[in-house]
Chains A and B, each alone.
Chain A
Amino acid sequence: MVSAVKATQGAVVFDLAVQPLRELNQFLHGDLTSIKTVAVENPDGAHSIAVGLNAPVQVDIKGHAGYYAAGMNQEATVVVHGNAGPGCAENMMSGRVEVKGFASGGAGASAHGGLLVIHGDAGLRCGISLKGGTIVVGGDVGSFSAFMAQAGTMVVCGDAGDGLGDSLYEAVIYVRGEVKSLGADARLEPMSAADLATVKQLLADAGLAHAASEFKRIASAKTLYHWNADSNQTY
């Protein structure tokens, strides 16, 4: 079934112009012990490229990816050499996903672990319901990002849209640019030495050259942690 695959010295090339996506994903779900890199040519916006990986392989998507690229990733490094559609690296568990262009809505949604780096802008709802993963965005993030983010870290080098960090739990957001508006229960907090060290490390991991001192910290005010019968539903 993988007869069209050219494997030399652990490097494999799939061309989605001639090979079905399912063939690529089934190959990536197989035994990859002798495989180091997989290149995906002509992705042309196909959905669900390199989803559900569970091995320390590097996948290079040589173009633009459609919905759900690198979703549910574990251990693998997936690089989109272009833009990614909605739901990129959704529910990532570990590993690294890197988008060289922009990512559409819901990038890194519900990620439990791993690092998602988006060099361009991220659309709306980036890191929604983040559960422990790390997201570094080189550009701006759209509205409602980090909504109900429970754990993990988000670093935004550009601006953030409306409702940033609405109903945050324990996740922490660092923003370098302007925040159009904070969501309910999200608040600005002072940057500690530990925050500066975290941002510095994550920028280095992502390969982005900004000073950690330019970032501000946003975290939960924790006023929503307990039901307040006297609040009159004002939040």
Chain B
Amino acid sequence: MCGIVGLLLKNKAMRPRLGELMVPMLIGMTERGPDSSGMAVFGEPVIDSRRKISLYCGDAGFNWRHVEGALLEFFGDAQFEVKANHCIVTSKAKPDDIRRWVARHHPTVHVLSVGRSIDLYKDVGLPSEVAARYAFQNFSGTHLVGHTRMATESAVTPANAHPYTAGEDWCLVHNGSLANPNSIRRMLEKKGIQFESDCDTEGACRYLHWRLDQGESLETALEHAFEDFDGFFTFLMGTEDKLALVRDPFACKPAVVAETDDYVAIASEFHSLAHLPGVKHANIFEPKPSEVYSWSVQ
């Protein structure tokens, strides 16, 4: 079992409150996922020549200053925002060059996300603990994708927590389980796509990104996924300007959507939406199986 939450703010005036509105949503899903949680936050994109890279180190005492100094020296341009075990690097250097440099010089540091809009945090612990560790309540931005995990098929580790990312400004969270993640993984690895964890969800994330990368629409990519994925899923996906939601053809895992003029909010259960302003007058519905729902930032 896991919990998913998503929030897209249509009302620009509410965007500074994105984190404050989201934290009770995430904590509301504690019973569905008490062992790890994570959050992808999308905000104003940095200029096209730069990229944001979210880094994570499992060592709580890790000295980010060493990374900062060396990265600045090596790439000549980088800005840093450190929160606990997490650091966002913004730089005009190529993300792959930074990724290689980090892997070589700091093997305990992991790249969680790359993009112009996305920041990504994930860690083990109760949702309330993870939210406090990284001050989720202070997030601002346009939309976000969050997850609380109750591990069923792979270990409880930060790397196995959701959201998963692939490429740039793309992330996915999953409630459910896939029976054939290894087949998907082998198929993608033959195409040169590398994996970083042993969680079934990473296969789904990289599979869909691989299809999008071929120029397929999200709808077409998901049509293929219905054929190729064996298992249960509610997927919530985020791009730089969009949230998308889909449930498997048997609707094995729940989801509920509340939409008002101000926002679109998604959660596994209504319990996580009950605190939202104006929710009593929201259009509340349960997404139908096999239908792709998406909402864009205006």
The stretch among B55-63, B77-85, B91-99, B269-277 that forms the contact with chain A is B269-277
Is A86 a contact partner of B254 (Cβ separation < 8 A)?
yes
Whether, in the assembled complex, A52 has its beta carbon less than 8 Å from a beta carbon of chain B, the answer is no
Given contacts A44-B274, A85-B269, A104 and B284 within 8 Å (CB-CB) = no
One of B271, B288, B289 near A45 (C-beta < 8 A): B271
Number of interchain pairs (Cβ within 8 Å): 49
The answer on a CB contact under 8 Å between B274 and A45 is yes
Contact B274 A143 (CB under 8 A): no
Collect the chain A residues with CB atoms within 8 Å of residue B289's CB: 124, 142-143
B268-298 interface (Cβ within 8 A of A): 269-275, 280, 284-286, 288-289
- Distance in angstroms between the alpha carbons of A143 and B251 in the assembled complex: 9
A83 to chain B, nearest CB (A): 6
Chain A interface mostly: loop
* A85 with B270, Cβ < 8 A, contacts A64-B284, A123-B286 known: yes
Query: Within the complex, what minimum Cβ distance (angstroms) separates B252 from chain A?
Result: 9
Please indicate the chain A residues that have their CB under 8 angstroms from the CB of B195 in the complex: none
Is B250's beta carbon under 8 Å from chain A? yes
Knowing A102-B285, A104-B286, the reply to whether A66 touches B270 (Cβ < 8 A) is yes
Given known contacts A44-B275, A64-B274, A64-B284, what 7 new A-B pairs fall within 8 Å (CB)? A42-B274, A44-B271, A64-B270, A66-B269, A67-B269, A143-B251, A143-B289
Query: A residues engaging B (CB < 8 A)?
Result: 42, 44-46, 63-64, 66-67, 83, 85-86, 101-102, 104-105, 121, 123-124, 142-144
Could you jot down 28 A-B contacts, CB within 8 Å?
A: A42-B274, A44-B270, A44-B274, A45-B269, A45-B271, A45-B272, A45-B273, A45-B274, A46-B271, A64-B270, A64-B274, A64-B284, A66-B269, A66-B270, A66-B271, A85-B269, A86-B254, A102-B285, A102-B286, A104-B286, A105-B251, A105-B254, A124-B289, A142-B251, A142-B288, A143-B250, A143-B251, A143-B289
